[in-house]
Amino acid sequence: MTRHFLTGAELSRDELLALIDRAIELKRDPLGSSALAGKSIGLIFQKPSTRTRLSFEAGVFELGGHPVILRPDEMQLSRGEPVRDTAYVLSCHVAAFGIRTHADELVEQLAEHATVPVFNMLTADHHPCQALADLMTLKETFGRLDGLVLTYVGDGNNVARSLAIVGSLAGVEVRVAAPRGYQLEPTAGAQLFEDPAAAVAGANAIYTDVWVSMGDEETAEERRAALASYRVDDALLDLAAPDAIALHDLPAHPGDEITAEVLYGARQRIWDQAENRRHAQKALLELLLR
Ligand code: CP
Ligand code: NVA
């Protein structure tokens, strides 16, 4: 059966925990696997990316494979070629492919018709590859995942949803503090809060993301107003567990969702998170192509 990775819920708990441990191993030995020798991996970007593109392109190379970057203006998909046909042709040439796009339906349709694994590199509703790197960063920092508390503060968006889905699968208690109208749906698996101070009490990690995601530009001003009191600063971190860390998937907007003091301060593990994207995604590719 072809394995896909669209939301993270496709993994069993054991697979997820083994993937995180494998990612930590690969970080110690980046050229220790040639799982992609002789294989090409398609990477379709219909939205901008710095980290996801860098980490997948470099990671595929380290695994002995060849990354094929595809931009929308270079694909016939943008001129009306059917999604089904695109999935068939990609499946003829690459061993797996990922896509960053707007609607989740496009990724689901590609996966329905592809005969190779399809992975989600960010959609409007999900960012599961980011959540893998986030769990890896937690495991590196605390030596465990089960029973940790991670509080996400801000917009209940794709990043928050993937943390809720993938984090709870790994035994992490995920809390989301968001204003009314910006909260996650209760079924995502997180505990929902309106008050950030209440949500961070006892937390091991405080996580935030941009207030204006790609595709939300038209409502930027109302989002900034609604989320103004959901900034992660040192005072909020002081309310969490004594050894709590600050996380952010990046890109950051210092002064909006996070202060510069936290972003570049002693309690952040944000730059480790950015590095861990590559190691976690290499472990994912190994699993999908096993
Ligand atoms: N965190 C993340 O996905 O970053 P990019 O948008 O730069 O890929
Ligand atoms: N929520 C953000 C994440 C960027 C990596 C967005 O979708 O733009």
Residue closest by Cα to atom 7 of ligand 1: 50
Longest distance between any two alpha carbons in the chain, whole Å: 55
Could you report the per-residue pLDDT of 193-244, keeping only the tens digit for each?
Answer: 999 999 999 999 999 999 999 999 999 999 999 999 999 999 999 999 999 9
Dihedral angle sign, alpha carbons of residues 15, 20, 26, 28: negative
How much of the chain, in percent, has pLDDT values that exceed 90?
100
With beta carbons less than 8 A apart as the criterion, state whether 247 and 159 touch: no
| CATH code, residues 129-274 | 3.40.50.1370
Ligand 2 pocket: which residues have CB below 6 Å?
Answer: 122, 157-159, 209-210, 213-214, 249
- According to DSSP, residue 62 is labeled H
Average pLDDT over every residue of 179-183:
97
The confidence score (pLDDT) of residue 1 equals 87
Helix, coil or strand: residue 281: helix
Q: Which residues contact 3 (CB under 8 A, 6 or more apart)?
A: 10, 117, 287, 288
Range 13-126+277-288 classified under CATH 3.40.50.1370: yes
Q: Which residues contact 71 (CB under 8 A, 6 or more apart)?
A: 44, 45, 46
Residue closest by Cα to atom 6 of ligand 2: 213
Q: Which atom of ligand 2 is nearest to the CA of 215?
A: 8
**pLDDT of 20 above 90:** yes
Q: Which atom of ligand 2 is nearest to the CA of 216?
A: 8
Q: What is the mean pLDDT of the chain?
A: 98
**pLDDT of 248 above 90:** yes
Angstrom distance (rounded) from CA 3 to CA 223: 37
Token match 């992660």: residue? 232
Mutate to test the pocket of ligand 2, among 51, 52, 159, 219 (most ligand atoms within 8 A of CB): 159
Could you report the per-residue pLDDT of 108-127, keeping only the tens digit for each?
Answer: 999 999 999 999 999 999 99
Domain boundaries, the chain: 13-126+277-288, 129-274
Kindly state the helix (H) or strand (E) to which residue 263 belongs, with its residue range: helix 260-263
ipTM higher than 0.85? yes
Tokens of 232: 């992660």
Q: Is the CB of 50 under 6 A from ligand 1?
A: yes
Question: What single-letter amino acid sits at 99?
Answer: I
Distance 37 CA to ligand 2 centre (A): 31
With beta carbons less than 8 A apart as the criterion, state whether 165 and 120 touch: no
Is the fold of 13-126+277-288 the same as that of 129-274?
yes
